[in-house]
Amino acid sequence: MKDIDERINETLDILIENEAMLVDELKTMLKSFKAEKAVKGYAFGELCFWHYEAFVDCVNDDIFKVAAAIELLILSYDIIDDLQDKDSDYIWSETPELSLNVALAMLIMSSRAINDTSFEHKNLAIQLLEEYAFRSINGQQLDVLNICRDEQSYLQMIDRKSGSLTAMSCLIGEALAKGKVSEGIEEYGRYIGIIQQIKNDIQSLKTWGPKNDLLNKKYSLPIIYLLAQKNSISNTVINYYNGDIVTLMDKNVIRDELTNGGAIRYAITIKNLHKLKALNILENVAINKVGKEYLIQLMK
Amino acid sequence: MINVIQYLEENPALVTLMKEQKVALIGVSAIEQQAILDSFDEVVCSRDPIWN
């Protein structure tokens, strides 16, 4: 069998090429966006595949169509997120007005593609896609509002924003195989998204540039920790966030405080906690060795 | 959890004692304690070449 990523990639090409409702101007852009996405791989589609494969005796090749549909939805969210963050690293940032239309088209294509499969439980899959996509939008709204400023509300926000999409991918695979979903898979599915988001948050602080959450006055776990400290550095950062005075921040001092004051360690601890909880649940799920190894990598 | 990490950062000897199971943190579950100890085993270094 071909590599799963490769199968998803091929199926995405076919879905885009065969979408008769798309005008050429949209189709060309969609192809170029998909090519950019292909570099990063298709983790969400793979989650779907492994949770389908685990519970069937014989794999229906339409699962790659579903995995590709999930990737279309994820790509549309990525584009919208990057446009909201004014992230200029990607091809879709060059023409935001046009890119929004591509994102909208991908959202519609996503559920249509699942509906076009031969699966008995495809309606349940579409229902899950809509429910969890909605949850993720709720999380995204809170993220853009930048109002989650303590551990509990921040974790709840990333659970919705990121955890919903990883849980959705796992559950759609399971639902197509079994016609029902399980609490354990839903739970560790959400934890995978939370873990990956915390890793992104830590990574964001490692570069002193336009993507740095601290410079952008965004909140994340290490920043919440830093702001909770009662010292001159945290006071400087608080002043910067409040914007009430002109604040000069020494990046070396901030970096030292983040690493040696416990902020990064705190974020790693919360990430580890979700990893351990996820691994405990995964132990009792009947997924083959390759699938389990893939999931364990995502939980680290 | 913020207070726990802050306290351990200020009292690193406690981390060693926790690893040796000579002390335990009241109000912290076993899985939380494991997550904390694992984080102290991970390298958190500002000289990490990724920092730039």
Q: DSSP labels for B1-52? A: -HHHHHHHHH-THHHHHHHTTS---TT--HHHHHHHHHHHHS---TT-TT--
How many CA atoms lie less than 13 Å away from A230 in the CB half-sphere?
1
Minimum-distance CB partner of A266 among B5, B45, B52: B5
Cβ(A169)–Cβ(A48) below 8 Å: yes
- pLDDT tens per residue across all 52 residues of chain B: 999 999 999 999 999 999 998 988 888 999 999 999 999 988 655 444 444 3
CA-to-CA distance for A42 and A71, rounded, in angstroms?
A: 7
Q: Give A111's contacts (C-beta < 8 A, 6+ positions apart).
A: A69, A126, A129, A130
Task: Choose from B34, B40, B44 for mutation: most chain A CBs within 10 A.
Answer: B44
The pLDDT tens digits for A47-76 are 999 999 999 999 999 999 999 999 999 999
B46 touches chain A (CB under 8 A): yes
- What confidence score (pLDDT) does residue B46 get? 46
Residue B49 counted as domain residue: no
Q: Where are the beta strands (DSSP E) in chain A?
A: none
Distance from CA of B23 to the nearest CA of A (A): 19
Number of domains forming the structure of chain B: 1
Domain boundaries, chain A: 182-300
Residues of A in contact with B45 (CB under 8 A): 259
Are A75 and A201 a contacting pair, CB within 8 Å?
no
Amino acid at A200: N
Q: Measured between CA atoms, how close is B3 to chain A, in angstroms?
A: 9
Q: What percent of chain A has pLDDT over 70?
A: 98
User: CB A223: neighbour CB atoms within 10 A?
Assistant: 23
Annotation: CATH topology of A182-300 = Farnesyl Diphosphate Synthase (1.10.600)
| pLDDT of the residue at A211 | 87
* Residue B25: inside a domain: yes
CA A126 to chain centroid: 19
| Phi–psi pair at A241, nearest 5 degrees | -65, -40
Residue B11 structural domain:
2-40
* pLDDT tens digits, one per residue of A251-300: 888 888 898 899 999 999 999 999 999 999 999 998 888 889 999 999 99
d(CA B39, CA A259): 12
Place of tokens 């981390």: B15
pLDDT, tens digit, for every residue of A71-118?
Answer: 999 999 999 999 998 888 899 999 999 999 999 999 999 999 999 999
Q: Please enumerate in sequence order all residues whose Cβ is within 8 A of that of A288, keeping only pairs 6 or more positions apart, or say none.
A: A53, A54
Instruction: Supply the pLDDT for residue A175.
Output: 98
Q: Considering only CB atoms, which chain A residues are within 8 Å of B50?
A: 203, 206
Read off the amino acid at residue A185: I
Contact A8, A67 (CB under 8 A): yes
Residue B51 lies in a domain: no
User: What's the rounded Cα separation, in Å, for the pair B8 and B24?
Assistant: 12
List of residues 6+ apart from A57 with CB closer than 8 A:
none
Q: Report the residue from B35, B44, B52 with minimal CB separation from A272.
A: B35
In whole angstroms, what is the distance from residue A93 CA to residue A73 CA?
18
Q: Of A92, A99, A75, A89, give the one whose Cα is nearest residue A211.
A: A89
From the CA of A256, how many Å to the nearest CA of chain B? Answer: 6
Interchain CB distance below 8 Å, A269 and B2? no
* Closest residue on chain A to B30 (Cα): A273
Q: Report d(CA A132, CA A166) in Å as an integer.
A: 9
Answer whether A153 touches B (CB < 8 Å).
Answer: no
CB atoms B5 and A277 under 8 Å:
no
- What number of C-beta contacts closer than 8 Å exist between A and B? 67
> Per the domain annotation, does B10 fall within a domain?
yes
Largest CA distance in chain B: 39
Given A255, A266, A269, which is nearest B51 (Cβ)? A255
Per the domain annotation, does B28 fall within a domain? yes
Structure tokens at A233: 């550095």
Q: What is the ipTM of this complex?
A: 0.88
Candidates B32, B39, B51; nearest CB to A265: B39
In a domain, B50, yes or no: no
- CA nearest to B29 within chain A: A273
Residue B9, chain A, CB below 8 Å: the answer is yes
Q: Which of A207, A225, A228 is nearest residue B52 as measured by Cβ atoms? A: A207
The 10s digit of each residue's pLDDT in A164-194 is 999 999 999 999 999 999 999 999 999 999 9
Where does the pLDDT of residue A152 fall: very low under 50, low under 70, confident under 90, or very high at 90 and above? Answer: very high
pLDDT of residue A2: 59
